[in-house]
Amino acid sequence: MALNWVWTGFFTAAFATAIWRWLIGDDGIFQALLTAMFDGARSGFEISLGLAGIMCLWLGLMRVGEKAGMIELLARVASPLLTRLFPEVPKGHPAQGAMTMNISANLLGLDNAATPLGLNAMRELQSLNTAQSETASNAQIMFVVMNTAGLTLIPTSVIAIRQSVALKQGLGADFNAADIFLPTLIVTFISLLAGVMAVAFCQRLPIWRAKLLLPVLAVAGLLAAAVGALARLPADQAARIAGAVGAGVILGVVMLFLLVGVWRRVNVYDAFIDGAKEGFGVAVQIIPYLIAILVAIGVFRAAGCMDAVLAAIGAAVGALGLDTGFLPALPVGLMKILSGAGARGLMIDVLQTYGVDSFAGRLAAIVQGSTETTFYVLAAYFGSVGVKHARHALACALIADAVGLISAIGVGYLMLR
């Protein structure tokens, strides 16, 4: 419903602005809006078509990892930490396995796999919530907020979209679409930490215990050291190093999946083909959604509405004496709270307008890759088990969103500016 109002609002604002501009003498404004509609439709189809091959590749490799048992291994690694974040869930309960599988899929950027796993985890958690079935339990709130906070280790779909747009812009083989890997990892960790701390405060969880706090502090220290080291380097060199690390980690994961699959005598080729078939279906499925949002954004921008909004925010930011280079990426973070498809469309619009290798383009990709669609996750996850009273879930999720957006801007200036 939120996206329906947003989508309709784009067209309504654009048309009302076009009428006003026509009345003051801009005779070409309606033709500009019509051209923007056609361009948006064509761009949506072309980008989805280019995305199909990359999605086939990645989902095929993920199927290999699943057959090789690597996804299950990730779940076992995460289980000791989750038992401390979800003290109400008995050890060995099926909810633990479902939650860790969902988190593992999220870490690898596999939204298509993470959602059904997450819904299954909510059903398992609901089996423990028998006393107040229409009110969210503490465990359900923590789980949902962790999902809204991002949890992305490898922003696969964002990297794929950047590569597709880069090819359209003629950047060629020299362009490294994975250069957002390290900044995205840092931002999603900060967002996740903020969400977990907000929920822990509301639920009075003893997060200061050494068994939970020490691993978190260790990861935070490593990330802080990486940011500090890169911040001391020239921007171009820092971006190259971040890109090399991102590409290396992704290739390492791919080779690990393949080698373990061969070692365990998995037919990796057949497994890859099965996953690739699903990847093609995913790419085809998003075509209408992508066209819809790109057309709406196109007319909104062609009418001058986007420039007016950014000018108003820019004036306020400029009055405070701050740099305004982040403004084009700001709508992506605001839209992501409401709609993943809408935010993806806005990100693509930024990539196309400012360039996929620009500061605004990189920052928009980081924001898209490190946040999740809060209202969609809340509605889908709680709605799937009939929970009507979310308690403090929305407030904690919005805190994580706000911290994540601010962190993305700060990390972007430190590492990419």
The pLDDT assigned to 219 comes to 62
Q: What is the CA radius of gyration of the chain?
A: 22
Residue 328 is given by DSSP the state: G
Burial group, residue 1, by CB count within 10 angstroms (0-12, 13-18, 19+) = exposed
Residues 282-305 pLDDT 10s: 667 667 777 777 788 788 878 888
The pLDDT assigned to 246 comes to 61
The pLDDT assigned to 89 comes to 78
Q: Report DSSP letters for 305-326, one per residue.
A: HHHHHHHHHHHHHHHTT---TT
The pLDDT assigned to 282 comes to 64
CB 139 within 8 A of CB 372: no
- Cα torsion at 142, 332, 157, 159 (round to 10°)? -120
CB 362 within 8 A of CB 416: yes
Residue ranges, the chain, pLDDT below 50: 1-2, 235
